[in-house]
């Protein structure tokens, strides 16, 4: 276990396409949020779940509620980073069960001098499978006060390291595939 790294699971979305909380849906015999817990557990000294739903307390992890309500993932990131006890925090959304430890190792290997380390691949960037400094909480707070809620746009204003993940996507084509609808669970 690396004691300097915190883990944050973003599970506070509205799940409008799913119709119910995504993280608590079962996929291949396991709740979606459990995939994120299992992935972060060997690397993180503490894992928190960013959510406004009390059902996530069943996992025995600290849950963090948004300070800025209905602002999307940036609100969850802000609240969780604010509560974190660690300078660096691995962040993963609860709906990406195919993320591999190799990706997290890639992010951790190239963090020095940056505020955020985000995977980049042919289809874009993945700010919800990334590494953030705790200091980013105040950055996100400023953006939230400015009503800037688009995470993909906002993070481009920080010291951002976009790490090429194309090799991993080629090796694991579903690496960033997320579960958004009941049909995706089949």
Domains and CATH numbers, the chain: 5-185 (3.90.550.10)
Task: Report how far residue 23's alpha carbon sits from residue 27's, in angstroms, rounded to the nearest whole number.
Answer: 10
What integer pLDDT is reported at residue 16 of this predicted model? 44
pLDDT, position 2 = 42
- What is the distance between the alpha carbons of residues 113 and 91, in angstroms, rounded to a whole number? 18
Q: Which residues pair with 47 in a beta bridge?
A: 7
Give mean pLDDT, residues 149-175.
Answer: 97
pLDDT number for residue 15: 46
**Residue 13 pLDDT level (bands cut at 50, 70, 90):** low
Q: Which pLDDT score is estimated for 184?
A: 55
Rounded distance, CA 90 to CA 41, Å?
Answer: 11
Q: What is the mean pLDDT of the chain?
A: 92
The mean pLDDT of 57-74, rounded to a whole number, is 95
17-45 pLDDT, tens digit per residue, is 444 688 999 999 999 999 999 999 999 99
| pLDDT the model gives residue 1 | 39
| CB-side neighbour CA atoms (13 Å) of 183 | 1
Task: Give residue 125's pLDDT.
Answer: 97
Mean pLDDT across 94-105: 97
| Residue 8: Cβ within 10 Å count | 30
Q: What are phi and psi of 43, to 5 degrees?
A: -105, -20
**Rounded to 5 degrees, what are φ and ψ at 37?**
-60, -50
Three-state SS annotation for 82-131: HHCCCCEEEEEECCCCCCCHHHHHHHHHCCCCCCEEEEEECCEECCCEEE
Tell whether the model's pLDDT for residue 75 goes beyond 60. yes
Mean pLDDT of 60-85: 96
Q: Is 67 exposed, middle or buried (0-12, 13-18, 19+ CB in 10 A)?
A: middle
With CA atoms as reference, report the closest residue to 185 among 53, 18, 51. Answer: 18
**pLDDT at position 112 over 80:** yes
């Amino acid at each position: 276990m690396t004691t300097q790294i915190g883990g944050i699971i973003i599970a506070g979305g509205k799940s409008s396409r799913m119709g119910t909380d995504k993280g608590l849906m079962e996929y291949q015999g396991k709740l979606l949020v459990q995939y994120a817990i299992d992935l972060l557990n060997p690397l993180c000294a503490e894992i928190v779940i960013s959510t406004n739903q009390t059902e996530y307390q069943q996992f025995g992890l600290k849950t963090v509620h948004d300070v800025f309500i209905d602002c999307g993932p940036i609100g969850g990131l802000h609240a969780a980073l604010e509560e974190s006890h660690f300078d660096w925090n691995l962040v993963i959304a609860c709906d990406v069960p195919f993320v591999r430890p190799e990706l997290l190792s890639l992010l951790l290997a190239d963090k020095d001098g940056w505020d955020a380390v985000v995977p980049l691949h042919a289809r874009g960037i993945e700010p919800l499978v990334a590494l953030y400094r705790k200091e980013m909480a105040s950055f996100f707070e400023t953006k939230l006060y400015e009503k800037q809620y688009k995470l993909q746009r906002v993070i481009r204003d920080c010291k951002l390291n976009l790490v090429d993940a194309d090799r991993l996507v080629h090796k694991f084509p579903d690496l960033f595939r997320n579960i958004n609808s009941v049909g995706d669970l089949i």
